[in-house]
Amino acid sequence: MTRITFLLLAALCSPSVLATTVDAYEADPLTLLDEHGKSQGRLPVKDAPKPPLQVLATHPNLDQVQVELGGRKVWLDTMDLRLSEGKIVTTPCESLPISQKADTRNASTIGFGSGCSKP
């Protein structure tokens, strides 16, 4: 909880956050969230204030932004919004993985050390 508060304070004090605005809504209805990403209900776009909206805070860990809707501070998923600022990520041109040969063997597992040597 302390970590989240710290993050919020840091985000609020950041000039870049204060400059960021919500330029458009990409989903209808919008899902209203709390700071942990839990749904607090849904709001049709027609009932939401017209953008641009000032972003009050960001939560990078969950990709959420806080805005004020009708005098109430709520969190929105950035997937539902178009923001004025933010890194544009394009689809990486990665190779489609190929299957492994039928006789492939991998006799290991993740994260275990050597076996127990108890008598």
Partner 1 sequence: MKANYFRFWLGQVLLGLFIGCIALLDPFGLSSSSDAASSQWINRIAASSYPDTGQQQVVVVLIDDAYLMRNATFWPLPYAQQSQLFRRLLAYKPRAVFVDLMYSHDHSLNDADNGSQLLVNVFERYREQGISLLLANTGETRGVDGQANALAPLDQMSRRALVKWSDVGDRYPLAVETSQGLIETPALGLYREFCRDLECTGLPVDAAQAAQRAPIALRWGRTLSPLQSLATSVAECSVAGNAWYAQLWQAIFWKFGDSGQATCAYTLTLKASALEANSPEDRALLRQLLSDKLVLVGAQITSAGDLTQTPVHGLLPGVYLHAMALDNLVTYHDAYQRDPDSYFWLSISWLDLVQLGFVIVIVGLRAWYRRRRHRRAKAWRAPLFSWAIVQAALAVLCWGLWQNNISPANVLAIAVLSVSIISAPIGLFAKRRWRSLVRYFAQRRRARISLVEGTQG
Binding region for partner 1 (CB under 8 A): 1, 3-4, 26-27, 31, 33, 36-39, 42, 61-63, 77, 79-80, 86, 88-104, 106, 108-110
Two structure tokens written together for 44: 């049709």
**CB-nearer residue toward partner 1: 97 or 119:** 97
Q: How far is the CB of 60 from partner 1 (least distance, A)?
A: 10
Q: How far is the CB of 77 from partner 1 (least distance, A)?
A: 6
User: Cβ closer to partner 1: 4 or 12?
Assistant: 4
Give the nearer residue to partner 1 in terms of CB position, either 1 or 119.
Answer: 1
Who contacts 30 (Cβ-Cβ below 8 Å, separation ≥6)?
42, 43, 44, 45, 48, 76, 80
Minimum CB distance to partner 1 smaller for 38 or for 46: 38
- Residues in contact with 59: Cβ distance below 8 Å, sequence separation at least 6, in sequence order: 4, 7, 8, 11, 35, 65, 66, 75
Shortest distance, position 46 Cβ to partner 1, whole Å: 18
The residue type of 58 is: T
Q: Tell me the C-alpha distance between 1 and 49, whole Å.
A: 30
